[in-house]
Amino acid sequence: MLLLKVCGMSDEKNISDLIKIQPDFIGLIFHEKSPRNVTKIIDVNCPENINLTGVFVEESENFIMKKVSEYNLMAIQLHGYESPKFCKKMQEKGLIIIKAFNIHEAFDFKNTEPYEGLCDYFLFDAFGKKAGGNGTTFKWEMLNDYKGSTPFFLSGGIDDSMGKSIKKNKHPQFIGADINSKFESAYAYKNIKKVKQFSDELRG
């Protein structure tokens, strides 16, 4: 069954409602430039089968580990130009590592090769002005150029009408979808009905 990652959460009640859908990953963004930046402690009882994930853009080890401790994070998503060495260091701390890559026409999937074995998942997002959450898609046929062994999430501009089409992706390393801005009624606040519909289509 495909995995579902819901990113850009910050409201406790909204997260509690989302947990009922049982996504595999729930993302909290810790990036000052993001309108979804989490600035307060979120008190949510997240089940062990849901990986609470911190999203970081070129932050220090100390900053990341502080958030891991404060929010009881099980996974981290690195969405900048973090080095393979840095990913390995974080992985050795027992965290699930998701390394994001922004895909554009000139992107060479050979750029992912140094990260093989040092990350649990890759996340292929659309290139845009912001590190993530741009609400745009990239040409999914480009994924055919990815020959690596690390499983990946598809991200970037996914909306609630795309569940069935995404499910048809037969790439051997395609593991699931990451959704965010197209499911929001406001920044960092998700329309749970839309998420559930998408989840049922993707994972049903």
Q: What is the CATH number of the domain that holds 80?
A: 3.20.20.70
Task: Kindly indicate the confidence band of residue 152, based on its pLDDT and cuts at 50, 70 and 90.
Answer: very high
pLDDT exceeds 70 at position 155: yes
Give the rounded percent of residues in the chain with a pLDDT score beyond 70: 95
2: how many CB neighbours lie within 10 A of its CB? 18
Under the banding of pLDDT at 50, 70 and 90, the label for residue 132 is very low
Structural domain of 11: 3-203
**How much is the average pLDDT of 122-144?**
77
Query: Do the beta carbons of residue 124 and residue 91 sit within 8 Å?
Result: no
Q: Are 188 and 35 in contact (CB under 8 A)?
A: yes
Q: What are the pLDDT digits (tens) for 31-84?
A: 999 999 999 999 888 999 999 999 999 999 999 999 999 999 999 999 999 999
In the predicted model, is pLDDT for residue 186 greater than 60? yes
Say how many domains are in the chain. 1
Proportion of the chain in helix, strand, coil states, percent, rounded to 5: 30, 25, 45
Q: Give the bridge partners for 151, in sequence order.
A: none
How far apart CA 148 and CA 183 sit, in angstroms, is 30
**CB-facing half-sphere around the CA of 118: CA atoms within 13 A:** 17
Q: For residue 187, what pLDDT band results from cuts at 50, 70 and 90?
A: very high
